[in-house]
Structure 1
Amino acid sequence: MVQAQFAITPFVKPKAMMEPVGNRTLVNLPNYFTADFSGAGYGPDEIRTVTLLGHKVQIKPILKSNTFHFGDGSSVGPTESRGGGYPNGDVKHTYLKRGTVSASVTTVYGGQFAVDGGTFTDLPGTATITGPVQPIQVLEATGRLVR
């Protein structure tokens, strides 16, 4: 019954966030990516409480991995990292061609449960959730001599 409740948990869909902000960047510029879990649903380490057979059961999604898809055919992961912003973020990507790409994050959640306030125990299985596509415009800067 607990496993069935885990399977129907409304998990947060991870959103690919990028620096520089605004989903616009330049060719050959390093970009820093973060998996954002601020949407609706239950994200990593948030607790969902249900009642099963008269017992309070807490279900906690656990982040197993993220795979960052950059929209140009390349990706990073699976990794336990959530990424991060400049300068210390560890999920970086540099686009080599101009155009519009679609970035996203796929998260694999594991789960734990506790009954009536007891110790959390691992649940078997995982849930794989892909977040919404984020369009990113990759521009090319050109220099020109001005007198």
Structure 2
Amino acid sequence: MVVWERLDTRTPGAAWERLEQACLYPGKPPERPGDVVITVTEKQLRELPIKAPELGSQPGRHTLKGAETNIYAEPADQSFTIDILGRKVEIRVKATEYHWSYGDGASLVTSAPGGPIPEARWGEKTVTSHAYTQTGDVSVGLATVFTGEFSVDGGAFQPVAGTARVPSASKALSVWRSEVKLYADDCAANPVGPGCG
């Protein structure tokens, strides 16, 4: 706040006359000394020990070329308590985006983590599955984006500006091919025939 005053120096013993007052800052004035605003920054969010989701796969460590391999994550909501300037700050984080890398050059971004399906449905397409076109060993990767919110001394939760991207441990898969052959031989009659012994 600025107060404008005028003094008539031509008149001996004249008093200051107030003309007007105005605010130097538009809108809300700055906090008074001693008023501290507690907030959680993106840097602080990224420094939290956020646990990355574990990767799961069906049918398992081995899969078949051309069939849908169900890859999924198992995330968990997490919370942390930290101290900022003597104030208790609770931070809750939640997984909101999943960046998949299937190990063969293919990638996908989803808002869902996927999940396991019954064995009878193995090979079906899911929101996070992938069909490999070549045989060989691949390494599946995942980076999960977490958003956060914080509460100071038990107050209302407020969003944290920014996100934290947390990589999961990669998962090794071996892609195999399958062959189907029909045999008309009777192995009892011809024990050395194709498909016998």
C-alpha RMSD of the superposition:
1.9
Match of 2:147 in 1: 110
Counterpart residue identity of residue 139, structure 1: W
* Alignment size in residue pairs: 139
Q: Considering only CA atoms, is the larger Rg found in Structure 1 or Structure 2? A: 2
Alignment of 1:18-37 (within 5 A): 18-21=57-60, 23-37=61-75
Match of 1:40 in 2: none
| 1:49, distance to aligned residue in structure 2 (A) | 0.8
Structure 1 unaligned segments of length 5 or more: list them.
38-42
Q: TM-score, normalised by structure 1?
A: 0.84
Conserved? CA contact 1:35–1:83, under 8 Å: yes
- Provide the rounded CA distance (Å) in 2 between the counterparts of 1:104 and 1:145: 38
Counterpart residue identity of residue 81, structure 1: A
Residues 1:67 and 2:105 are matched in the alignment: no
Match of 1:80 in 2: 111
Secondary structure of 1:2's counterpart equals: coil
Candidates 33, 47, 51, aligned match of 1:8: 47
Give CA-to-partner distance per residue, 1:17-67, whole Å, 9 cap, x none.
Answer: 11112x210111111121123xxxxx5x31101122222111111222101
Instruction: Report percent identity of matched pairs.
Output: 29
Conserved? CA contact 1:18–1:32, under 8 Å: yes
Conserved? CA contact 1:84–1:90, under 8 Å: no
Give CA-to-partner distance per residue, 1:84-131, whole Å, 9 cap, x none.
Answer: 122594211111111001101111112110111222111111111221
- Looking at both structures, which has the greater relative contact order when contacts are Cα pairs under 8 Å and sequence separation is at least 6? 1
Conserved? CA contact 2:98–2:143, under 8 Å: yes
Q: Which runs of at least 4 in structure 1 moved beyond 6 Å after TM superposition?
A: none
Structure 2 unaligned segments of length 5 or more: list them.
1-38, 186-197
